[in-house]
A and B are shown apart, each in its own frame.
Chain A
Amino acid sequence: EDKVVQSPLSLVVHEGDTVTLNCSYEVTNFRSLLWYKQEKKAPTFLFMLTSSGIEKKSGRLSSILDKKELFSILNITATQTGDSAIYLCAVDSNYQLIWGAGTKLIIKP
């Protein structure tokens, strides 16, 4: 059975800290791994990763994939209160997205 596991489930840090969110997966036919950010409304796309070792960056956010060890990490440096959200990881397996439960990140001022 395909599954995606995110850790930690929740995390509270102070503004300015760096955080690392984890996503591990076991799927039958890996095509890509995606990260989404969900604030109060719908998830919004952050990154798509298909190849191991190639870092994707967008401002203070970055992500990398390890297809040998079957995991990805999402890093956020110099966190701000606006980074508070649920971060969702999903893996495209056979053209369906398998979703993790999400990591709830709270940034305290």
Chain B
Amino acid sequence: DADVTQTPRNRITKTGKRIMLECSQTKGHDRMYWYRQDPGLGLRLIYYSFDVKDINKGEISDGYSVSRQAQAKFSLSLESAIPNQTALYFCATSDWADSVQETQYFGPGTRLLVL
């Protein structure tokens, strides 16, 4: 089984709809992240969480919200989807105990299309 899983893998939705992307991990890591990837822009951080009680905004949090339901689960919501939120979304995890390194492990991605 994959260490970091994301559901759904692909999603088409309409403008104004609320959708949720889910991420689960079996790596036992404390830190979890949500990124979006657009062609030519690399990865941009949306939100991150260092533990269940810690949620932080990233570079592009507007229009998004998150929930850290447990150490292993981190969900991303688009409250009212708009077409420029069409992108590839990645969840990632890293280990707090690995204090020197910030190696992140990525899920397979969710491809979202907002019409």
Chain A residues with a Cβ under 8 A of chain B? 6, 9, 31-32, 34, 41-45, 48, 50, 88, 90, 92, 95-97, 99-102
A42-B102 contact given A97-B45, A102-B42, CB 8 Å threshold: no
Chain B residues with a Cβ under 8 A of chain A? 35, 40-45, 48, 58, 90, 100-109
Our pick among B44, B105, B108 for the contact of A99 (Cβ within 8 Å) is B44
Our pick among A9, A41, A97 for the contact of B104 (Cβ within 8 Å) is A97
Task: List A contacts of B106 (CB < 8 A).
Answer: 42-44
Establish whether residues B103 and A34, one from each chain, have CB atoms under 8 Å apart when the complex forms: yes
Establish whether residues B101 and A48, one from each chain, have CB atoms under 8 Å apart when the complex forms: yes
Tally inter-chain residue pairs, CB-CB below 8 A: 49
- Cα A6 to Cα B42 with chains together (Å): 10
Task: List B contacts of A95 (CB < 8 A).
Answer: 102
Our pick among A32, A48, A96, A101 for the contact of B40 (Cβ within 8 Å) is A101
Task: List A contacts of B109 (CB < 8 A).
Answer: 41-42
Establish whether residues A50 and B102, one from each chain, have CB atoms under 8 Å apart when the complex forms: no
Establish whether residues B42 and A88, one from each chain, have CB atoms under 8 Å apart when the complex forms: yes
Establish whether residues B90 and A97, one from each chain, have CB atoms under 8 Å apart when the complex forms: no
